[in-house]
Structure 1
Amino acid sequence: MLQPFANFEGWPKGSAEREEAFSRAKGWIEVMRTVGTDLLQVGATDTPSHKISTSRSDIVSDLRELASMLEAENFRMAFENWCWSTHALGWKSAWEIVRDVDRPNVGLCLDTFQTAGSEYGDPTVESGLIESVSPEKLRENFDASMDELASTVPPDKIYVLQISDAYKVSPPLEDKVVRYLRPRGRWSHDYRPMPYDGGYLPIEDVAKAVLKTGFRGWFSMEIFDGGPDGKGRTYEMGAFARQAMANMQKLLKNCANS
């Protein structure tokens, strides 16, 4: 899979930004040909809402056009919610968009961090949890969402599941845009370890829900680990890769009954 192609959908018709987005798409398709992949990951745009349309019909129309461009090459699109995006923060929004695009070459890229990070975690508070409801209600809501995912999304519409966790940020991130990124965007870029390596999100629950759909496709570990302080870590890649494989096997074992 080639990723992440982003900030594509929603630009006003006739705008220079829309023209540039479609030009970028053509360039990414050329890269796909060159590297030999048939799958493009498209991340839900995080362009501010005053610059783009967040109308579902406009979003769907743009993604249909991209789907047609990919279909001409026998390529596919995996659309992903980003937990700081402008119009598709959660799995359900992403699924409803994919459902409405209704093309055979368009499916989902689901992600344990993006799902739990949008519905359970909050990097701007000491608890690391969404605090608009009680911890008990938060857990109840999250469990209900995972049950809905498991019973709603067709397995053939999930193209890949990305795996990572998140550190509980201390001190919390400021609740403001920094370098064009919202707090959850900064969280995503710098504070995402592999499973069982210091994170706290209920990522096993996300993986179990995806497996309960009947999905048996690709698992991909996606790590942006700058350490608990987000300032960077030193790695020895051989040891890191071996630990990543061991931790992925642990995740699969823990989710095996789903």
Structure 2
Amino acid sequence: MSKSKIPTCYASCSIGTKPEHDLPAKLKAISSAGFDAIELSMPDLLSFANSYLDKEVSNYDFPELCEAGKKVKELCEENNLKILILQPFANFEGWSDDSPEKEDAWKRAQGWTQIMEAVGTDMLQVGSSDTPNIKSSPTELAHDLAQLADLLAPKGFRIAYENWCWATHAPTWKSVWEIVQKADRPNIGLCLDTFQTAGSEWADPTTKSGLIEGINEEALRKEFYGSLQELSGTVPKDKIYFLQISDAYRMDPPLSPEPDESGLRPRGRWSHDHRPLPFDGGYLPVVEVTKAVLGTGFRGWFSTEIFDGRMQEKHGDDMAAFAKKAMKAHERLIKEAGGE
């Protein structure tokens, strides 16, 4: 257990840089640093299933993934770790009712629900959809999430809905909060994120300044800090299921504003490879975002989720040592944000 009163989690997908850094090794490193839980990433579960079952397992081989998931649950218990959530469930909401994408989304939802049972978690992280040509109405998006919540409810499962700052229609905390309110289900809440919050309203990886331009910096600051104040004053603490923690590098040179060959928008590319620990070279107002979340009264799970392409050159290959640095960053963040 960490020294902080706030429970600590580490996203399994965001530690380790080499092939030998498999899921069992990640669990040992995370546990040795004193974290209380993991976010179980589907890519990690897939990789583990391939090794554990000694065969190629696909995203849709749900019985095999459940079998591997039961073993992952055992490994977590051996390492005194809880599985806080299964993630990331992407591009679920917004498809037209008769589309093959809608059919696929529900097939995945039913399969992931089985995996949640197998690994022993009650929470599914859903990222706001980043696919073009989906419905734009918050009411329609909320309807889809409400249906998913109703699928999960009989098992006592919850949805943590996260704004991805490159999402098609819900890139900000306020936009996902509107959708959660419209969905109006007791088992839907928010996954807030320091990177996603600041990355959607404060920062821009396509500009030289690293900030949103077209507005002077003083006005930008006033607008962003007003948004944080609104978050503190309007989101009930019990509707925040957990807070993900990471910073971001200022991009030099700036990223192209155009989508890449896969269609990924610049903030998505930024997210994938340029998110260090707090206090480790980034420039986002991570402490201020954390203060705003704590200002709601929330004292629940803080989860480290970093994607740092410079991790190996900066910190080497020792996952246990890096996990300890992550814990120190967590403790410093709590102290500076006034969470004790």
Shorter-chain TM band: over 0.9
Deviation, structure 1 residue 100: 1.0
Q: What do residues 215-247 of structure 1 show as CA deviations (whole Å, max 9, x unaligned)?
A: 11000011111129x999843211101100001
* Alignment gaps of 5+ in structure 1: none
**What is aligned with 1:213?**
296
Change (3 A) 1:93 1:107: same
**What is aligned with 1:115?**
197
- Kept in 1: contact 2:194–2:286 (CA 8 A): yes
RMSD: 1.7
Q: Does 1:184 align with 2:261?
A: no
SS at match of 2:155: coil
Q: Distance in 1 between matches of 2:212 and 2:168?
A: 18
- Kept in 1: contact 2:274–2:309 (CA 8 A): yes
Change (3 A) 1:233 1:85: farther
- Kept in 1: contact 2:259–2:266 (CA 8 A): yes
Letter in 1 for 2:299: R
- Kept in 2: contact 1:226–1:232 (CA 8 A): no
**What is aligned with 1:104?**
186
**TM-score relative to the length of structure 2:** 0.73
Give the structure with higher Rg (CA). 2
**TM-score relative to the length of structure 1:** 0.96
Deviation, structure 1 residue 154: 0.5
Q: What do residues 37-85 of structure 1 show as CA deviations (whole Å, max 9, x unaligned)?
A: 000000000001xx21111221011101000011021100000001000
SS at match of 1:161: strand
**What is aligned with 1:69?**
151
Q: Distance in 1 between matches of 2:315 and 2:326?
A: 15
Deviation, structure 1 residue 180: 2.1
**What is aligned with 2:135?**
53
2:218 to 117, 120, 136: 136
Letter in 1 for 2:296: T
SS at match of 1:72: helix
- Kept in 2: contact 1:225–1:232 (CA 8 A): no
- If asked which structure has higher relative contact order (CA below 8 Å, sep 6+), I would say 2
Q: Distance in 2 between matches of 1:25 and 1:13?
A: 15
Deviation, structure 1 residue 132: 1.5
1:26 to 96, 104, 110: 110
- Identity within the alignment, %: 58
Return structure 1 stretches of 4+ with deviation > 2 angstroms. Answer: 230-235
Number of equivalences: 255
- 1:87-98 equivalences under 5 Å are 87-98=169-180
Q: Does 1:223 align with 2:306?
A: yes
Q: Distance in 2 between matches of 1:9 and 1:233?
A: 38
- Kept in 1: contact 2:294–2:339 (CA 8 A): no
Q: Distance in 1 between matches of 2:339 and 2:171?
A: 28
- Kept in 1: contact 2:195–2:245 (CA 8 A): yes
SS at match of 2:327: helix
Q: Distance in 1 between matches of 2:315 and 2:140?
A: 41
- Kept in 2: contact 1:225–1:233 (CA 8 A): no
Change (3 A) 1:22 1:232: farther
Q: Distance in 2 between matches of 1:78 and 1:196?
A: 27
